[in-house]
Amino acid sequence: MSTSGTSSSPTAPSVPTDFIREIVEGDLASGKHHSVVTRFPPEPNGYLHIGHAKSITLNFGIAAQYGGRCHLRFDDTNPAKEDVEYVDSIQEDVRWLGFDWGEHRYFASDYFDQLHQFAVQLIKSGLAYVDDLSPEQIREFRGTPTEPGRPSPFRDRSVAENLDLFERMRKGEFDEGACVLRTKIDMASPNFNLRDPAIYRIKKASHHRTGDKWCIYPMYDFAHSLSDMIEGITHSICTLEFEDHRPLYDWYLDVLKTPSHPQQVEFARLGLTYTVMSKRLLLQLVREGIVSGWDDPRMPTLSGMRRRGYTPQSIRRFCELIGVSKANSVVDFSLLEHCVREDLNARSQRVMAVLRPLKVVITNYPEGQVEEFEAENNPEDPAAGTRKVPFSREIFIEQDDFAENPPPKYFRLSPGKEIRLKHAYYIRCDEVVKDAAGRVTELRCSYDPQSRGGSTPDGRKVLGTSHWVSAPHALDAEVRLYDHLFGVPDPGAADDFKTVLNPGSLEVLDGCKLEPGLAGAVPGSRFQFLRQGYFCTDAGSTGSHPVFNRTVGLKDTWAKIARK
């Protein structure tokens, strides 16, 4: 796994080679395939997350790199859990990541007729039977890792009887769970997946696409390998837990003597520290209101990351850096943040924003006077130009940028001391105003008119530089500071993941004071708040109630880890 790469820009065309690309290149070179066809096969039962992004960048990336194509196929074989809301969100997220399936959008349900035909063919070949054992009995008969399974008493039904029963299953004559169609493979196989797996079950549920046409639905492995074949997929790339299913994947294609035989290739799924990625758990977070929705900025979903301000480029860069391997591992969340920061550093406009304001009155600055300072928008990108920032007698600075009794080596403002205001003047603190409770409510300072532009004729040094916002011009805004949703690196290991939630995962600050230029920032706009981090206008932000989300702070903890 390659985890370095701090020096290259996120857009640099670095093409890592991995074992899957080696297989693809080999197959193209040998003439086994003339072009590569991959697919991304989400089940529309939840929103896509960062783990899916790894699979998407791999599948679409390989297709693009070798001039092939990648299908978007919805694995919609379980009507009970699936919904069009998920279909729509998945499409939006894949597009947002920067990938395009063109006209190749498919649904496993498009193939229900064909899959049914294949099942009938298996029955006719004596390779499938209708089993009346209950689900519990089937489990019991399946055996254990050390003991072979036992054949079902219904295993030797005649072809005619099986055809009849399967047809009656299809017609809805039996209740859910009353029977299943199973393949006849090998009840003694050391691989459980081959101990006569079910291929059709009864589900009396309406399907979001086929409505009530079917009350029997194909099982995942059966539907998946045959859907791949029907679409002419050359390389069926999936995660490692399907390695033991590969013999079954191949078995269906072999016994049905299909015209083509895609190759299943497994890779390690992405795990991230401080993150759960199981859709079951993510759904629980949403349903129980622990987060505000699938797109809560603390969610590892692509919609959550988008709302938080992550860029598609940074997520693709992250996927490129983590690479593809056969060994499961957990990636440090700080690597993802590093990629986000690196990309946002290059592209976001700098602005001044005071999150916890402290009022400063500049007593020797003329009342009513306003001047404007020219501020650069992005030191990383001169083409980004400059903007004008208003300055006046009353400004806000960060509460943290003042200490009445400064500790040693304090480089910010304190009584009698002088600091530089970014883009503006030097100010000295003359007086501290407090309320009845002794809290500092205002500072009275004086400025040096000769320090305009950041230095004085006498070359005097100041302690430090603070950002500020002119009080009468400031835009009032809500700012949401996000942290990990979980307080422990491995929340999935907890018996109940709700016990390891991070109580400080969201801090809402009201009455933040922002540069007036931020008024009207459209949702999704990204900024660097000087000295604070990267922020993004929230999807729900409005002109009358602007809201900004902290995407990521400035401190790069990954760089520190990588240097060790």
76 exposure class (CB count in 10 Å sphere: 0-12, 13-18, 19+): buried
- CA separation (Å) from 5 to 95, 320, 323, 324, 338? 26, 10, 12, 16, 10
Asked if residue 52 binds ligand ATP (CB under 6 A), the reply is yes
The listed partner (Mg ion, ligand ATP, none) that binds 270, CB under 5 to 8 Å by sort, is ligand ATP
Residue with tokens 């009207």: 520
Closest CB to ligand ATP among residues 238, 518: 238
The listed partner (ligand ATP, Mg ion, none) that binds 63, CB under 5 to 8 Å by sort, is none
Closest CB to ligand ATP among residues 278, 499: 278
Q: Which residue is nearest to ligand ATP (CB)?
A: 51
Residue with tokens 């929340």: 491
Active site (annotated) includes residue 412: no
Q: Which two tokens stand for residue 232?
A: 């002419």
Answer for which of 65, 158, 278, 328 binds ligand ATP (CB under 6 A) is 278
| Residue range at the interface with Mg ion (CB under 5 A); choices 36-44, 282-290, 399-407, 431-439 | 36-44
Q: Least distance in Å: CB of 300 to ligand ATP?
A: 9
Q: Least distance in Å: CB of 50 to ligand ATP?
A: 8
Which has the closest alpha carbon to 238: 275, 267, 196, 270?
267
Q: Least distance in Å: CB of 273 to ligand ATP?
A: 13
Q: What is the DSSP letter of 207?
A: B
Q: Which residue of the set 25, 43, 161, 394 is catalytic?
A: 43
Report the amino acid identity of residue 105.
R
The listed partner (ligand ATP, Mg ion, none) that binds 308, CB under 5 to 8 Å by sort, is none
Rounded to whole angstroms, the Cα distance separating 295 from 264 reads 32
Q: Which residue of the set 279, 298, 308, 420 is catalytic?
A: 279
Residue with tokens 């492995």: 221
Q: Least distance in Å: CB of 406 to Mg ion?
A: 57
Answer for which of 181, 238, 286, 344 binds ligand ATP (CB under 6 A) is 238
The listed partner (ligand ATP, Mg ion, none) that binds 309, CB under 5 to 8 Å by sort, is none
| Residue range at the interface with Mg ion (CB under 5 A); choices 38-46, 87-95, 115-123, 172-180 | 38-46
Asked if residue 277 binds ligand ATP (CB under 6 A), the reply is yes
Active site (annotated) includes residue 550: no
Site string for ligand ATP, 23-42 (x = CB under 6 A): ------------------xx
Rounded to whole angstroms, the Cα distance separating 557 from 171 reads 60
Q: Which of residues 385-424 bind ligand ATP (CB under 6 A)?
A: none
User: Is the CA virtual torsion 169, 170, 173, 176 positive or negative?
Assistant: positive
Answer for which of 239, 260, 284, 292 binds ligand ATP (CB under 6 A) is 239
- State the distance between the two ends of the chain, measured CA to CA, in whole angstroms: 17
Closest CB to ligand ATP among residues 69, 279: 279
Rounded to whole angstroms, the Cα distance separating 527 from 515 reads 11
Closest CB to Mg ion among residues 76, 538: 76
Closest CB to Mg ion among residues 43, 164: 43
Q: Which of residues 40-59 bind Mg ion (CB under 5 A)?
A: 43
Rounded to whole angstroms, the Cα distance separating 300 from 290 reads 14
CA 269 from centroid of its chain's CA atoms: 14
Which residues are CB-contacts of 533 (< 8 A; sequence separation ≥ 6)? 550, 551, 552, 553, 554
Q: Least distance in Å: CB of 80 to ligand ATP?
A: 14
Q: Which residue of the set 155, 204, 269, 356 is catalytic?
A: 269
Closest CB to ligand ATP among residues 72, 427: 72
Closest CB to ligand ATP among residues 55, 348: 55
User: Is the CA virtual torsion 503, 504, 508, 511 positive or negative?
Assistant: positive
Answer for which of 279, 316, 317, 338 binds ligand ATP (CB under 6 A) is 279
- CA separation (Å) from 317 to 54, 286, 337, 343, 553? 10, 28, 11, 9, 19
Closest CB to ligand ATP among residues 266, 515: 266
Q: Least distance in Å: CB of 331 to ligand ATP?
A: 10
Answer for which of 18, 43, 376, 442 binds ligand ATP (CB under 6 A) is 43
Contact predicate 44/76, CB 8 Å: yes
Which has the closest alpha carbon to 24: 73, 81, 78, 62?
62
Asked if residue 450 binds ligand ATP (CB under 6 A), the reply is no
DSSP string, 387-450: EEEEE-SEEEEEGGGB-SSPPTT--SB-TT-EEEETTS-EEEEEEEEE-TTS-EEEEEEEEEGG
User: Is the CA virtual torsion 286, 291, 295, 298 positive or negative?
Assistant: negative
Answer for which of 55, 225, 313, 505 binds ligand ATP (CB under 6 A) is 55
Active site (annotated) includes residue 213: no
Answer for which of 23, 37, 38, 51 binds ligand ATP (CB under 6 A) is 51
Percent helix, strand, coil in the chain (nearest 5)? 30, 25, 45
Asked if residue 270 binds ligand ATP (CB under 6 A), the reply is yes
| Residue range at the interface with ligand ATP (CB under 6 A); choices 12-20, 124-132, 204-212, 273-281 | 273-281
Q: Least distance in Å: CB of 238 to ligand ATP?
A: 5
The listed partner (ligand ATP, Mg ion, none) that binds 239, CB under 5 to 8 Å by sort, is ligand ATP
Closest CB to ligand ATP among residues 226, 270: 270
Asked if residue 54 binds ligand ATP (CB under 6 A), the reply is yes
Which has the closest alpha carbon to 391: 456, 451, 457, 461?
451
Closest CB to ligand ATP among residues 305, 397: 305
Residue with tokens 């929705």: 293
Contact predicate 40/60, CB 8 Å: yes
Contact predicate 278/519, CB 8 Å: no
Q: What are the catalytic residues?
A: 43, 269, 279
Sites of contact with ligand ATP (CB under 6 A): 41-43, 51-52, 54-55, 238-239, 269-270, 277-279
The footprint of Mg ion (CB under 5 A) covers 43
